[in-house]
Amino acid sequence: MASIRIEKVGDINVTYPYLELFQEQQINPFMEIGITDHQELSLTIYPVAEKVVLTLEQWEQILTTAKEFLPNTLRDEEDIQDIV
């Protein structure tokens, strides 16, 4: 089973950074984990040319990553606001 690569993306067009998920050796992400303006997780699945097959372990990894990403990102944003 192919491994999953996760990259954090900072974009000035969105309030919070987000994560892009890639299958091994792919250049286009198959999923995005983001945070809405209401500070809720948002999972977006992109259409890609090749079929995406994930194991239960990989889904659990994605869910764990998302659950950790939300509070960590919100805390980082609060820290930045405190500095400014």
| pLDDT, tens only, 47-75 | 998 889 999 999 999 999 999 999 999 99
Is residue 84 pLDDT above 80, yes or no?
no
Total number of residues shown for the chain? 84
> What's the chain's average pLDDT?
90
pLDDT above 70 as % of the chain: 92
Q: pTM score, two decimals?
A: 0.87
* Gap between the Cα atoms of 66 and 21, Å rounded: 11
Tokens read off for 67:
């659950």
**Span 15-25, mean pLDDT?**
93
Determine the average pLDDT of the residues in 10-29. Answer: 92
Listing DSSP states for 53-77 in one string gives: ---HHHHHHHHHHHHHHHHHHHHHH
Cα–Cα nearest to 30, from 44, 41, 18: 44
